[in-house]
Amino acid sequence: MQILQNGRFAVSTWSLHRLLGAVYAYSPDPEKSAAAKEPYGRGTAELIDMPAPLAARGINRLEVCSFHLPSLDAAYISELRDAMTASNVLFQTLLVEDGDPSHAETAERDVRWMAEWIDIAAALGAQRMRVIAGKQKPTEENLTRAARHLRWLGEQADGSGVRVVVENWFDLLPSPVEMNWLLDQLDGKVGLNGDLGNWAAPDKYEGLADIMRRAEICHAKADYGVAGIDAQDYRKCLEMCERAGYAGPFTLIYDSPFFPDEWDGILLQKQFIEDFLREAPARRTA
């Protein structure tokens, strides 16, 4: 089995959005403000303090949503990178949370704004930068527009040390047909972050088995009901990853009010995946 640097588990700051509190809605839209807002409450922790408790829980990879960065100043960026280095936490992905390369009117503006984040991602020491592929309906025109702009974006990242990736997310990419078409057009210039929770069951399972063969990283989001984690769905998603031969890291995405302490939800998902991976030899011989 491939041994990954810093292990197979990451956490996205979205999984800690109640703990972190404030968000800063950076956007290419000049009408939008990046001033701090608190839609999830005030929070009780700072982003720069997250690497240490993450490492203490046996997780040594982090993904940071752009809206969780309280500052883009070089001094703060350097301090955050130092904090991650001190805790041996790898900056896996900077998640750029706005922009639409498929939009007929604003795509060029948006993708140029996305390109500005490449230097920020590089300064943070991020391996990857996930961008939105597009929010428009998957017409030939919109898909072609997105492909052209994303290819340009991938080229802008050449030599930066940052790999641009997209996700099976929003209206542009509702199935593996559109997802695979887009990746084929990009000729490896842009990679795939496969998300287990963005498509709806039951069709999502075969879709995941198809696209996860091309994924470099994975958002391992679990669904929750009144009884807790939807174990049947989560296991089926992991089985599709296994069937596709996916051997990369799993980013734990906890997005539920089921546990008041977000760490509890994160660690439950981590334990679930660890148990699944531990059972792999038995599945292969069954």
User: Does any domain span residue 64?
Assistant: no
User: Does any domain span residue 63?
Assistant: no
Mean pLDDT check: name the lowest of 150-154, 196-200, 231-235, 280-284: 280-284
Are the C-beta atoms of residues 96 and 128 closer than 8 Å to each other?
Answer: no
Q: What is the model's pLDDT at position 203?
A: 97
Q: What value does the mean pLDDT take over residues 248-267?
A: 96
User: Does any domain span residue 199?
Assistant: no
Q: What range defines the domain where residue 260 resides?
A: 206-286
Q: Taking the model in full, what pTM does it have?
A: 0.97
Q: Which of 169, 190, 187, 189 is nearest to 178 (CA)?
A: 169
pLDDT tens by residue, 131-150: 999 999 999 999 999 999 99
Q: What is the model's pLDDT at position 219?
A: 98
pLDDT tens by residue, 69-111: 999 999 999 999 999 999 999 999 999 999 999 999 999 999 9
Cα 274 vs. chain centroid, distance in angstroms?
20
Q: Which of 7, 52, 40 is nearest to 270 (CA)?
A: 7
User: Does any domain span residue 113?
Assistant: no
- pLDDT of 3 above 90: no
User: Does any domain span residue 281?
Assistant: yes
Task: Tell me how many domains the chain contains.
Answer: 1
pLDDT band of residue 226 (cuts 50, 70, 90) is: confident
- pLDDT of 2 above 90: no
Helix (H) / strand (E) element for 276: namely helix 262-278
Strand ranges (E), 104-176: 128-130, 163-167
Q: What's the chain's average pLDDT?
A: 97
Mean pLDDT check: name the lowest of 3-7, 38-42, 129-133, 228-232: 3-7
- Measured in degrees and rounded to the nearest 5, phi and psi for residue 89 equal -110, 125
Q: What is the model's pLDDT at position 100?
A: 99
Are the C-beta atoms of residues 57 and 263 closer than 8 Å to each other?
Answer: yes
- Beta strand pairing call for 228-229 and 224-225: antiparallel
Q: What value does the mean pLDDT take over residues 139-165?
A: 98
Mean pLDDT check: name the lowest of 2-6, 212-216, 263-267: 2-6
- HSE-CB at 129 with a 13 A cutoff on CA atoms is 30
Looking at 11-96, list the stretches that DSSP marks H as alpha helix, in order from N- to C-terminal side: 17-20, 51-56, 74-86
Q: What is the model's pLDDT at position 1?
A: 45
User: Does any domain span residue 218?
Assistant: yes
Contacts of 122 by beta carbon, 8 Å cutoff, 6+ apart? 160, 161, 162
User: Does any domain span residue 184?
Assistant: no
User: Does any domain span residue 161?
Assistant: no
